[in-house]
Amino acid sequence: MQIQSLSKELSATTYPGRGIVLGKSADARCFYIAYFIMGRSENSRNRIFEIDGRGIRTKAFDESKMVDPSLIIYAPVRVCGDVTIVTNGDQTDTIYDALEAGKTFEEALRTRTFEPDAPNFTPRISGVVEPKADRYRLSILKSADGDPASTRRYFFDYDAPRPGEGHFIHTYQQDGNPLPSFEGEPVPVTIEGDLDAFSRTVWESLNADNKVSLFTRSIDLESGEVTSLIFNKHQGQ
């Protein structure tokens, strides 16, 4: 698959939903992570990211307007040892607990399925970054063309990723009603600039009306040093 412009992929649809980008910096010094959320309803848009230990959590921006916290309040990012976990739901905890117990990313996700939000049946997207192993992995769990009786689980491994390249996966192929699930493999995309430039590319490429929050992180492959950035639309970013 031909490598694509990250900016063009992010702006190709007004509502990709929630998305993960994992990749290696052009200078080969760092792994980059991006996770974003978007929203169409007031409840989905009423969120921010906040730091929680070595990861982040979603939080209601205005607690008085929170209608249903299920599926939208969770920890998208946690760290287990040197492994950074990033997902679009509470499967973050499933993966964390499995790794703590000596099990694998894949074993953890074989116990989960897509979200129970009929008629969309939103896919669960997940990733792990393993700097010491010089690799990252991605997964998507989705229904069989909207059939809730059948689950499709896909796993993608990227060993020794090439500098300046990454992979992008998101929940929805495009806007719609019901929302169509992402199709195919994670899209290979360009990774350019330092963390700030990478973050700005993601944030500024997302649809201005629907974007809600963005988390980005760099992990130095030599020192293990971590730098994180958060963009919250509700906080004027």
pLDDT digits over 51-66, tens only? 999 999 999 999 999 9
Task: HSE, CB side, 13 Å, CA atoms: give it for residue 24.
Answer: 18
Contacts of 82 by beta carbon, 8 Å cutoff, 6+ apart: 130, 131, 132, 224
The pLDDT, as a whole number, for residue 115 is 97
Separation CA 160–CA 28 (nearest Å): 10
Q: Are 231 and 203 in contact (CB under 8 A)?
A: yes
Q: Are 142 and 182 in contact (CB under 8 A)?
A: yes
Please name every residue paired with 170 in a beta bridge, in sequence order, or none if there are none: 19
Peptide bond preceding 178: is omega within 30 degrees of 0, i.e. cis?
A: yes
Please name every residue paired with 140 in a beta bridge, in sequence order, or none if there are none: 125, 154
Regions of the chain with pLDDT less than 70: none
| Paired tokens of 161 | 């990723």
Peptide bond preceding 76: is omega within 30 degrees of 0, i.e. cis?
A: no
Q: Are 57 and 74 in contact (CB under 8 A)?
A: yes
Q: Which domains does the chain have, with CATH numbers?
A: 6-235 (3.60.20.20)
Surface-to-core class of residue 124, CB atoms within 10 Å of its CB (0-12 exposed, 13-18 middle, 19+ buried): buried
